[in-house]
Homo-oligomer: A and B are copies of this chain.
């Protein structure tokens, strides 16, 4: 099976390596000429003759920019899989123009390198079935969650829970510290009970130590909270915690913390409480 892969960034490059390793004939392209996995000289070259085209791009505008090429150079049986995180509405519109799946991922750079990504897939059942061998080469948890756009909605839901959990853990830490409690010990108790979470498991020590090396950058989470907010608005929903978490992430960015790990939400809530 030939795959055209567009977008060879931190996530795309290792995904291409895993697709290569799984025996796919991959033609990678990126606008930057020096990216690993770049074997096609143009988008046209990556797309022409491909059975599947995958995009892994920063945001909707980049996806929409490459779309005319996919429509023009893609064959009649082409399946287009957008693995970028973009808003569900854009994914739904794409799927009206061509056979497409939205398949955003979670698991970060490590998941991309290890081929252990979680993949949330929206689109037609038959297209999902056809894409499964491709997904298995890059991911571990692969779930078809609904019609076009559904993958993006689940990713948005994921990001609102992740952002909110960081904020809750941050408030718990600040409450304990300000009350003279050993926050590290307190978080050990929280991690072992009903308050337990993957975030407490992975990040409680670095948060207490104020170590915010990314990881997943605040800037990217800011984009994702924008998607969650837009998705809620499109669905006609008022979501109070999502709203406030979105504002806290925006504040983090406004305070120049955009390139830190998203657990740096702690610094925003700390600054609210500082002279």
Contact = CB atoms under 8 A, between A and B. Distances in A.
Nearest to A190: B158
Most B CB within 10 A of own CB, among A150, A180, A245, A248: A180
A235 to B, nearest CB: 4
A149 B180 CA distance: 9
A178 B145 contact: no
Interface residues of A, number: 72
Given A157-B172, A199-B194, A178 B120 contact: no
Given A147-B180, A165-B197, A186-B154, A141 B175 contact: no
A195 B176 CA distance: 23
A81 B34 CA distance: 66
A70 to B, nearest CB: 25
Interface of A: 88, 106-108, 118, 120, 122, 141, 143-147, 149-150, 153-154, 156-162, 164-165, 167-169, 171-176, 178-182, 185-186, 188-190, 192-199, 202, 228, 231-232, 234-242, 244-245, 248, 269, 272-273
